A = this chain, B = another copy of it.
Amino acid sequence: MPKLVAYKDMNPRAKAVVDGIARARSIKPDEINNVWKALARHPDVMERFADELKMAMGPGKLDPLTKELVYLAVSIANQCDYCIASHTAMAAKKGMTGEMHEEFMAVVLAAQKGNKIASAYRVPVDAAFEEN
């Protein structure tokens, strides 16, 4: 098991990161999830990830649920168990119903198949797609 650092034992920089996340999620700092307890040993990495996440997942042209689904899709492709567990929970909080979850899985699996087909058959990119 990694050395998870409880909120009360974190250094000030790590505490500040957790405080910011806790405020945004309306939770108490000691209810923070494990990834932040693990990162607390490395404040540079922690601050940079918290900042990147906030920018990426914050308000913009894409709605919050779409962003969660994109995050979850990457996590499934990479088979990251922690990320799948946590972001499935977050997607549900942001409105993903059981039906949407099933449709999402169908798309992920179709994409996964398409990726391996394109590679296995060594398909050259069509001229029409080269601009992308």
**Interface residues, chain A, with chain B CB atoms under 8 Å away:** 1-4, 33-35, 38-39, 41-42, 44-45, 48-49, 52-53, 55-57, 60-62, 66-67, 69-89, 92, 97-126, 128-132
Given A99-B61, A104-B62, A104-B70, A49 contacting B122 (CB threshold 8 A): no
Q: Tell me the bound Cα distance from A31 to B17 in angstroms.
A: 39
Q: In the bound complex, how far is the Cα of B51 from the Cα of A17, in angstroms?
A: 19
* Pair A34/B106 contact, Cβ less than 8 Å: no
CB pair A132–B2 under 8 Å, yes or no, is yes
Enumerate the 6 nearest inter-chain pairs by beta-carbon distance, A residue then B residue, closest first: A77-B77, A74-B111, A82-B118, A56-B110, A80-B115, A38-B121
Residues of chain B with a CB closer than 8 A to A115's CB: 74-75, 78-80, 83
Determine how close the nearest CB of chain B comes to the CB of A131; give it in whole angstroms: 7
Roughly how many angstroms separate A120 CA and B1 CA in the complex, as a whole number? 12
> Which residues of the partner chain B approach A112 to less than 8 Å between Cβ atoms?
74, 78, 112-113, 116
Q: How far is the CB of A55 from chain B (nearest CB, A)?
A: 6
- Smallest CB gap from A32: residue in B: B126
